[in-house]
Chains A and B, each alone.
Chain A
Amino acid sequence: MSTTVLVIIGLGLGTYALKAAGPLLLGGRRLPERVERAAQLLPAALLASLVVVSTVAADRALLLDARLAGVIAAGVALRLRAPFIVVVAVAVAVTGGLRALGG
């Protein structure tokens, strides 16, 4: 078996175990109320960290480039109640536009 196939199988099984532990072991059982209350706060933190990481991370360094301007423009679009796909299009247009101008 090639190294690559071994990695696909090994990483596939390991990743699946991580993904499935919650749904399979906990099932539909309700979490303790304290945990559930805390879990309601998690999405804001997780989404914010996903925004930050995908905006300014370049491997293991912080890189402030045209992506940041694009995401700020997306924020303005959201403030103006633009639909989801327009928000994404604005971010792409601003980022691409700035790079075209050499920014």
Chain B
Amino acid sequence: MDDRTRRRRIHRQALSIALALAPLGIVFGVACVQAGLGLAEAIGFSAIVFTGSAQFAAVGVLGDGGGAVAAITAGLLLNIRSLAFGVLLAPSLTGRVATRALLAQLVIDESTAVATVQDEHRWRRYGFLAGGLAVFAVWNLTTVAGVLLASVDDGFITDLGLDAAVPAAFLALLWPRLVGRDGGDGRRIAIAGGLVAAVAVPFTPPGVPILLAGLGVLAARRGSTT
């Protein structure tokens, strides 16, 4: 595959996943208004915190009248997986300290997903950047839209099935790992990871099942090689 084709494919992946998140961004904007936050505060969350699950958790706590410590703790607990993503991405995110410091803000589920489906470090970095920037733009724009639309009933998102967009986008990114040359390995790992996450959902706060799926696979591999 030549460079141009590859760039175009990455752009498509990045845009698709960013657009898939648009309904969720709107829901976040609506949630902010319901919790009594203003437009600037909603944008503050989406631009500065810039991690969906942590934002929802913190705004949920604020909406329930919780304090700052409770809201921050809830958000951070959900976000421990960012630490794992950062370590996973580190070999591809090279450059000066200032460059790396800027790139780090874009470490989220979606940029990690687009990056890790590429096979070379330079394309991982490109996929990370494309996914991160596309999501940053769409996420902040739709947060604003959600705040402005807050008076409107947000039931249309589930009515139209827009909440199925995000899982479908993740499945599309996962797909090549299930059907490729070494698809057997990918399928086994994916099934194991999916099962661990499903089992963990009722027992752990949101965000933790994803972390456990990753750690579970590492632990299983360690066990099988020693």
Whether B158 sits at the interface, judged by CB under 8 Å, is yes
Interface of B is mostly: helix
Alpha-carbon distance between A28 and B66 when the two chains are bound, in angstroms? 40
Interface of A is mostly: helix
Alpha-carbon distance between A63 and B209 when the two chains are bound, in angstroms? 15
- Which residue of B67, B116, B168, B173 is within 8 Å of A91 (Cβ)? B168
Residues of chain B within 8 A (CB-CB) of A56 are 198, 201
Residues of chain A within 8 A (CB-CB) of B148 are none
The answer on a CB contact under 8 Å between A14 and B76 is yes
Residues of chain B within 8 A (CB-CB) of A47 are 113, 116, 170-171, 173-174, 177, 190, 193
- Which residue of A15, A74, A84, A95 is within 8 Å of B13 (Cβ)? A84
Residues of B within 8 A of A (CB): 12-13, 15-16, 19-20, 37, 41, 44-45, 48-51, 54, 58, 62, 67-68, 71-72, 75-76, 79-80, 82-91, 93-95, 97, 100-101, 103-105, 107-109, 112-113, 116-117, 158-175, 177-178, 185-186, 189-194, 196-198, 201-206, 209-210, 212-214, 216-218, 221-222
